Structure 1
Amino acid sequence: MVAELAAGRRPTIIDVAKRAGVSKSLASRALRGDAGVSTSSRDLVLDAAQELGYRPNSAARSLVRGVSGLVGVVLNQLDNQHHTGIVQGVQERAKELNARVIIGNGAQNPEELQRQIDTMIELRVDGLVIVSSWVPRQVLERAGSEVPTVVLTHLADPPAEVDTIASDDVYGAQLAVEHLVQAGHQRIAYLSRSASATSQARIDGVVLALEAAQLPCTIVQVDAGDDINLQELSASGVDAVLCNNDLTAAEVIRLAHEQQVQVPGQLAVIGYDNTALARLLYPSLTSIDQPQVNMGRRAVDAIAERTAGRTEALRELYTPQLVVRSSTAQP
């Protein structure tokens, strides 16, 4: 039993082999699931490992085998459900490949994002999934040169060292604006709390769609920590707003309730990402859907491809879709 070991000492493979009455090499092969180990010997080793509370030393095993079985995920922010969906996809696919996932929070700070990436590399992850467009280019270049790295967001000029998987943000914004134009809205605004490359791509889509409809374009940039001035927005004549994500849209709907602005009667609202939040709001939120889970799964496969020898950088775009709910209607 565990009590038979010296107090505080963790059992080793030698302890397991001794308990099972086999050699250390046979015990190691049995625990790895290697072929050529008899069923009776494997059962003896597994029973001994369970009795002793033995856990393999993953760090030592990674040094010997050259792989850690770890996929590192660095997020821009933890409270964004779009990121949560991506993590779900990464975990699903990693589990299918017998890998594990560790997560770091960049807290919307380039320096903290860099620190989290450095930590992942120090932990010898087999691959990195970065869900942020805020990471400095030189950091991405260095990370990609050390470990297979996939960035799951729009980058204006991605370095060749990393793969990118993203949704077509220009097209997604165009879809949203075209929906509002077809509903009869004349003054459409894009409201964002982000100055990222992703948000800029969506601005490009908004401008293209409004120019095609020969309608004026209003871009509202709100800094983190500042309040959204919905009264000023409404007073300017804006009758519909596309938000940079569902969180910002939820804030707009809350302010509309407080200020007795009818949604969608006086102000139509569209979010971006189609997270679970979109279905829970009242009125339910029209949003641009990104296939977060599929993107997360694809990122793990991209890491596996790099590990297998692929050298050409992957540039993959998913096509977003408009999901219409109650927050948009004819004015």
Structure 2
Amino acid sequence: MSTPAGRAPTIIEVAARAGVSKSLASRALRGERGVADETRRRIHVAAAELGYRINSAARSLARGQSGIVGIVLNDIGNPHFTGVVAGAEAEARERGLRTIIGHGAGSAPDLARQIETMLELRVDGIVVVSSWAPREVLEHAAQLTPVAVVARLDEPPESLDMIASDDAHGARAATEHLLAIGCRHIAYVTRSTSVTSAARGRGVRTAIEQVGLELAEYRVGPEDDEEIERILRSGVDGVLANNDLTATEILRVARERGIDVPGDIALVGYDDTPLARIVSPALTSVNQPQRAMGRRAIECISERRDGRTDPERAWYEPTLLVRGSTFRR
């Protein structure tokens, strides 16, 4: 079957070419579940051969929905955030939804602007991967569309869902590991003043105080190698960084200044991003299930669209993965 010149092919023609029903062809092209892989492939091939394109605008008008979910993230350069986005995109694709991404660039005003842009685009929901977004902005957005925040918030509004990891528990486990390998002068080093970083700091402090020691806490700026070296030469023998990006910077400065990791200082990162596995020595790091958290955010958006009104508070328990940066013979 071929399409007459000058006329766009229809879903009926795609179905006929693929040898399936119209409804099955439609489901496959929308990315819905329940279609066998080989059948889905055959339908997509038929659509490509005929030049068929889904009329998203018409479908949105008919359903009163855009079929698009906005994802606003804090730092596109941090693998933790991109891991959450990858999970959200995968779940959205399986549900026949599309995603658009807004970058908040580590700034509360920029995050607010990105959220406002998503509202202007009339998305079916917004996933915010950051604890920096202003509360009033989140509350306003949640009045207009489902909002799921993948980050720790203090007293999150009832109108939105929160998906987070137990940061205090993860940091405490990391600190207990440093104590177990003999560290007695432990520092928490962060580049952030976020709620998440503060929770991790509390976890470190809890573990340190339980054994009668004192915690050294430092906040460093970007590219502040001199401050990092000063910390490393201050007598500390164990360091927990607020994330893997900060930990890899500490590792680089240590190597450049002749400080051995883990011989002189044991080092732990947080988030267990791909960075933790590709540096040398590989980073001991606290794992957060980024993809699972991203998937849950899209599930929450869909549940809200289907009528759920009770707030979801999904907590994920982090786990410590021990690697070379804390391995002492």
TM tier, smaller: 0.7 to 0.9
Q: TM-score when scaled to structure 1?
A: 0.85
Against the structure 1 CA distance between its residues 48 and 98, is the aligned structure 2 distance closer, same or farther, given a 3 Å change threshold? closer
What are the residue-to-residue correspondences of 1:109-120 with 2, within 5 Å?
109-120=107-118
Pairwise CA distance, 1:241 = 0.5
Aligned ranges for residues 72-91 of structure 1 at < 5 Å? 72-91=70-89
Is residue 2:59 matched to residue 1:61? yes
Residues 193, 223 of structure 1: 8 Å contact kept: yes
Q: How does 1:291-330 map to 2 (within 5 A)?
A: 291-330=289-328
Aligned to 1:284: 282
1:47 & 1:253 partners in 2: Cα distance?
49
Equivalent position of 1:194 in the other structure = 192
Partner of 2:126 in structure 1? Answer: 128
Match of 1:246 among 232, 244, 264: 244
Letter in 2 for 1:174: R
* Structure 1 residue 54, shift from structure 2 partner: 4.7
Q: What is the match of residue 203 of structure 1?
A: 201
SS at match of 2:324: coil
Measured after TM superposition, the shift of residue 228 of structure 1 is: 5.5
Extract unaligned runs of 5+ from structure 2: 15-21, 29-43
Give 2:121's aligned amino acid. Answer: L
Amino acid at match of 2:251: I
CA distance in 2, matches of 1:223, 1:182: 30
Partner of 2:164: 166
What is the aligned residue count? Answer: 308
Any idea what SS the aligned residue of 2:140 has? helix
TM-score (norm. length: structure 2):
0.85
Q: Which runs of 5+ in 1 are unaligned?
A: 6-10, 21-27, 35-45
Describe the superposition over 1:175-229 as per-residue Cα deviations: whole angstroms up to 9, x where unpaired. 0100001111011000001110100011111111111011111110113454452
SS in 1 for 2:207: helix
Specify the SS of the correspondent of 1:229: helix
1:309–1:216 Cα change, 3 Å? same
Maintained 8 Å contact 1:285/1:325: yes
Moved more, 185-194 or 228-237: 228-237
Amino acid at match of 2:252: R
Structure 1 pair 55/217, CA: closer, same or farther in 2 (3 Å)? Answer: same
**1:3 to partner: Cα distance:** 11
Whether the 8 Å contact between 1:245 and 1:272 is mirrored in structure 2 is: yes
- Between 248-257 and 295-304, the greater mean CA deviation after superposition: 295-304
2:179 and 2:107 mapped to 1: Cα distance? 36
2:218 is aligned to 220
Task: Work out whether residues 222 and 228 of structure 1, in 8 Å CA contact, stay in contact via their aligned partners in 2.
Answer: no
Structure 1: distance between partners of 2:98 and 2:306: 19
Q: 1: distance between equivalents of 2:105 and 2:4?
A: 43
Distance change in 2, residues 1:29/1:278 (3 Å): closer
Task: State the AA in 1 paired with 2:302.
Answer: A
Letter in 2 for 1:193: R
Runs of 4+ in 1 over 3 A off after TM superposition: 1-5, 28-34, 46-54, 224-228
The corresponding residue for 2:153 is 155
1:237 paired residue number? 235
CA distance in 2, matches of 1:308, 1:129: 17
Aligned CA distance change for structure 1 residues 33 and 322 (closer, same or farther; 3 Å)? closer
1:100 is aligned to 2:91: no
Q: Give the Cα–Cα distance (whole angstroms) in 1 for the partners of residues 88 and 66 of structure 2.
A: 16
Read off the aligned partner of 2:151 and give its amino acid letter: T
Change in Cα spacing, 1:225 to 1:250, as seen in structure 2 (3 Å) is closer
Q: Identify if the C-alpha distance between structure 1 residues 33 and 323 changes in structure 2 by more than 3 Å, giving closer, same or farther.
A: closer
Offset, 1:2: 10
Identify if the C-alpha distance between structure 1 residues 236 and 57 changes in structure 2 by more than 3 Å, giving closer, same or farther. same
Deviates more, 1:196-205 or 1:230-239: 230-239
Moved more, 79-88 or 170-179: 79-88
Q: CA deviation at 1:140?
A: 0.4
Q: CA deviation at 1:95?
A: 1.7
1:91 Cα offset (Å): 1.6
